[in-house]
Structure 1
Amino acid sequence: MPQKPASKIVIPGTSPKSAASRRTFLQGSTVLAGTALSATVIPNVHAASDDTIRFALVGCGGRGAGAADNIMKTKGNVKLVAVADAFPEVAKSKLRRLAGRHGDKVGVTEDEIIGGLDGYKSAIDVDCDLVVIATPPGFKPQQFEHAVKMGRHIFMEKPVASDATGVKRVLKAVEESKKKNLMVGIGLQRRHEPRYMETIKRIHDGAIGDVISQQVYWNGNGIWYRNPAPDFTEMQGQVNNWYHFNWLSGDQICEQHIHNLDVGCWVKGEYPVECNGMGGHQQREAGDGSKSQIFDHTFCEYTFADGSKMHSQGRHLKGGWSHVGEFAQGTKGSSNPSGTIMGENAWKFEGESPNGHQQEQHDLIEALMRGEIYNEGEYGAKSTFCAILGREACYSGKVIKWDDLLEKGRELAPGIDDFTYDSEPPVVRGEDGKYPIPVPGKYKPFG
């Protein structure tokens, strides 16, 4: 049976260890059992001059560079000391912009960017305190494992894996990170936004009664596609267009819709026990499979242990209805968890609403500076798996149970730890020039 996700954080009064060095300062003595620090205004606390938080960045794309920028905008004494990216030439422009904005906080030159699919090891092995992992989800489990092995604090973007095998690897590494008292932040930034935190706290306190149904949405127009360079191997081309391959991205339901599914599970206070769904590839790249393997629309019905439902829409459809959000109905009212409650306990959030991407880094760096540790790895992995459960239900057209899929769900990329740019990818074009597209009724969700 899926375990309940933590709903809020309570920070006990603590006195962080005094530190004679950066390393001991960042050991962290307090484990915080919840989702996020509750403060929205960062107090005037600064690390001592020899207590710089040195961080490595693995994946310097849009979200990776964005996370690094957010970290360097905090009040922490931070420094970027290593960068790894599968495409160093592309990452150079991102690093250049970071250096222009933050000066001495960037301690890496463009020529020092580490390339290759195994470059993450060299970046994580650099003398650092914190590792930011912002790579395609398919690669994250082994990168997370290595960061835990090296004893690094970690911020990892969502989703944390693309298949059941990867989720199990992450969950095992999360347990090891707890033994080592390591910080683990996960990029489900709504958990750090006061408007969500206060609204969902009120829901848990009974403002809308028992939650009996929910609707969650990520409906948008579409995503990028990058024409591969003429000299790219097939593996390079797929990694460069990672969103379009389910072994790398987990599909749209994992890569984007995970945010709304996470909110729904947070509202309910537990994860679903099963799911059925439907979807297809109708509009994606003209529906021919020559460029993209993933679906362009999914619809899921998740069932919780008490029989209540969460209905999910995820879509990339040009010209269609675009909407990103969540809605919950209860026995005493209803709620938009982003800040509104309707019914007998009607209420609207009127506080400050900071940017979630920035706030999650304020919270993380402040906690490290104070020697306090929280770990978001478990709910990050389980919310990722909730999305994978929905994807596999849509791909197969079958009702799939959480426990069955977690135990024996198919592995999308066997041997991924050893992949190089000369390796053959897990999926390749057929004789017709098309990538295989899952067909409901024929697709097999179990390995």
Structure 2
Amino acid sequence: MKETESVSRRKFIGTSAIAGAAASFPYVARGEALQSDTIRVAAIGLGGRGTGAITQILDAPMDLEKNKNLRCKTKLVAIADAFPEKSANKIAAMKKKYGEDRIDVEGRIFGGLDGYKQAINEDVDMVVIATPPGFKPQQFEYAINQGKKVFMEKPVASDVTGIRRVLASAKKAKEKGLTVGIGLQRRHEERYIDCVKQLQDGVIGDINMLRVYWNGNSIWHRGKQPGMTEMEYQVNNWYHFTWASGDQICEQHIHNLDAGCWIKGMYPIKANGMGGSEMRMGGDRKLSQIFDHTFVEYTFPDGTKMFSQGRHLKGGWSHVAEYAHGSKGTCKVASHIEPFAGDPIRIRGAGGGHYQEQKDLIEALHKGEYYNEAEYGAMSTFTAILGREACYSGKEIIADDLMKKGRDYAPGIDDYTWDSAPPVAPDEKGEYPVPAPGVYRPFA
């Protein structure tokens, strides 16, 4: 295989990755300047991904100073987590690695469902939001209203109401010049950037079909602890409730769907699909209400189809990848291109997107550069929701209709407390409702 010249990461992120994905927020030369060389960070959600993001944010300045002569610092100064007692060991480990001067959170660790407000209100420059998707829209909105820069993990919402809220906050962030990073890390990986550019430049001709996969193993479940309210139980097991996670197609498969939309430079206008919950938690509906398999046929405005597989199945075929098929060849995205005529082309460039996205964000903040990834984060999340609603209902769903009339999965979520009744409840058998295709209604 021959290798090709890679494209500038910053240049491509700033143009094709945003403007080319139908976003209305182009790259802007200057953003709001930092007041010092130290970025003070608040972490909202210190689970696995939240801890990972914070670690990468703390590590990034070392590489930037070494490779780009950019002197900068990052410091964790506040934490909010629904269950703050779980954070103790993680905080101790970070203090041991980075020192107490960079992990300075004493007296600024907040719990409960509204602790994010207290953390954001602290003297911080940037907020890292890594909570369950259902809670992100109001947390993002609050951070932007308080004038904070934001890094928010994907997906950015679990329902259409949340998507509309994120889009409104994204617009406000643009008006304020507040940089927003979204955890769709493929868009920051050299191998993806290089490959997508070649595909958009026509290396395999007109792209007429995409295939995307996130087929994996089973996922975690935490039992109900003594004394827990139903709300505490569901938040602690958030992945298993659609109002909190958006289902597997949103929580994990969004990466592959986002890559497909990025390649096409557009979003689907409709979708039909099928799916169900057969093997999830051994078929025990007392533990989970989400699907364990989905299949979606998306249609783009130009008629191109994108076929999507998402699954959790222990012992099944595991495969996480994206493929493009064109008039002049095929491509396994970020791996290799196979023209119908000529030699295969190996895609060059590093992976490591989780780390690279933080390096790009920290560098932009210190240079006073601005970018806003919130719109494509919202629209790729909406694409996942579109597919989910097609699978849940068994119907063909028009994207515009869903954006206007999609269900609100967690009405009144801003006011939830541990004593609130969750949006779903178990029946007299202790079983949670699982959407039934042909019966489920996707619109409010």
- Tell me the TM-score normalized by structure 1: 0.89
> Which residue, 406, 410, 413 being the options, matches 1:413?
410
Q: Tell me what 2:49 maps to.
A: 63
Query: Are the structure 2 counterparts of residues 107 and 275 from structure 1 closer, same or farther at C-alpha, using a change threshold of 3 Å?
Result: same
Residue identity in the other structure for 2:55: D
Deviation, 1:286, is: 2.0
Q: Tell me what 2:347 maps to.
A: 349
Residue identity over aligned pairs, in percent, reads 59
Residues 1:337 and 2:333 aligned together: yes
Listed one character per residue, the Cα deviations across residues 25-75 of structure 1 (whole Å, up to 9, x for unaligned) are: xxxxxx955548xxxxxxxxxx99942110100001000011000000011
Listed one character per residue, the Cα deviations across residues 396-442 of structure 1 (whole Å, up to 9, x for unaligned) are: 00000110000000000000000000000000000121000000000
Q: Tell me what 2:58 maps to.
A: 72
Query: Are the structure 2 counterparts of residues 49 and 305 from structure 1 closer, same or farther at C-alpha, using a change threshold of 3 Å?
Result: closer
In the alignment of these two chains, the number of paired residues is 411
Alignment of 1:8-407 (within 5 A): 11=11, 32-33=14-15, 35=17, 50-75=36-61, 76-103=72-99, 104-109=101-106, 112-343=108-339, 344=341, 346-351=344-349, 353-407=350-404
On the 8 A contact 1:263/1:326 being kept in 2, the answer is: yes
Partner SS, residue 141 of structure 1: helix
Q: Tell me what 2:66 maps to.
A: none
Residue identity in the other structure for 2:50: G
C-alpha separation in 2, matches of 1:11 and 1:349: 18
C-alpha separation in 2, matches of 1:386 and 1:54: 33
Listed one character per residue, the Cα deviations across residues 267-289 of structure 1 (whole Å, up to 9, x for unaligned) are: 11110100000000000112231
Residue identity in the other structure for 2:441: K
Q: Tell me what 1:28 maps to.
A: none
User: Runs of 4+ in structure 1 displaced over 2 angstroms?
Assistant: 7-12, 31-36, 47-51
On the 8 A contact 1:33/1:374 being kept in 2, the answer is: no
C-alpha separation in 1, matches of 2:192 and 2:11: 18
On the 8 A contact 1:58/1:132 being kept in 2, the answer is: yes
> Which residue, 427, 430, 436 being the options, matches 2:427?
430
Gap regions ≥5 residues in structure 1: 1-6, 13-30, 37-46
On the 8 A contact 2:34/2:365 being kept in 1, the answer is: no
C-alpha separation in 2, matches of 1:71 and 1:10: 18
Deviation, 1:139, is: 0.2
C-alpha separation in 2, matches of 1:350 and 1:381: 29
Listed one character per residue, the Cα deviations across residues 199-247 of structure 1 (whole Å, up to 9, x for unaligned) are: 0000001101111001100001111001121110000000000000000
- Tell me the TM-score normalized by structure 2: 0.90
Partner SS, residue 301 of structure 1: strand
C-alpha separation in 2, matches of 1:165 and 1:388: 11
On the 8 A contact 1:8/1:35 being kept in 2, the answer is: no
Residue identity in the other structure for 1:363: D
On the 8 A contact 2:292/2:311 being kept in 1, the answer is: yes
C-alpha separation in 2, matches of 1:8 and 1:248: 37
C-alpha separation in 2, matches of 1:114 and 1:219: 36
Deviation, 1:349, is: 1.8
Query: Are the structure 2 counterparts of residues 48 and 236 from structure 1 closer, same or farther at C-alpha, using a change threshold of 3 Å?
Result: closer
Deviation, 1:336, is: 1.2
C-alpha separation in 2, matches of 1:86 and 1:280: 30
Residue identity in the other structure for 1:180: K
C-alpha separation in 2, matches of 1:272 and 1:48: 38
Residue identity in the other structure for 2:207: V
Residue identity in the other structure for 2:335: G
C-alpha separation in 2, matches of 1:173 and 1:379: 13
C-alpha separation in 2, matches of 1:278 and 1:11: 39
Partner SS, residue 268 of structure 2: coil
Partner SS, residue 326 of structure 1: strand
Query: Are the structure 2 counterparts of residues 201 and 11 from structure 1 closer, same or farther at C-alpha, using a change threshold of 3 Å?
Result: closer
Q: Tell me what 1:24 maps to.
A: none
C-alpha separation in 1, matches of 2:373 and 2:348: 27
C-alpha separation in 2, matches of 1:49 and 1:145: 23
Deviation, 1:86, is: 0.2
On the 8 A contact 1:33/1:375 being kept in 2, the answer is: no
Deviation, 1:337, is: 1.4
C-alpha separation in 1, matches of 2:409 and 2:297: 23
C-alpha separation in 1, matches of 2:372 and 2:34: 25
Gap regions ≥5 residues in structure 2: 1-6, 19-32, 62-71
C-alpha separation in 1, matches of 2:89 and 2:274: 40
Residue identity in the other structure for 2:174: K
On the 8 A contact 1:79/1:107 being kept in 2, the answer is: yes
Listed one character per residue, the Cα deviations across residues 269-328 of structure 1 (whole Å, up to 9, x for unaligned) are: 110100000000000112231000100000000011121110000000011100000001
C-alpha separation in 2, matches of 1:350 and 1:8: 13
C-alpha separation in 2, matches of 1:260 and 1:411: 25
Residue identity in the other structure for 1:212: N
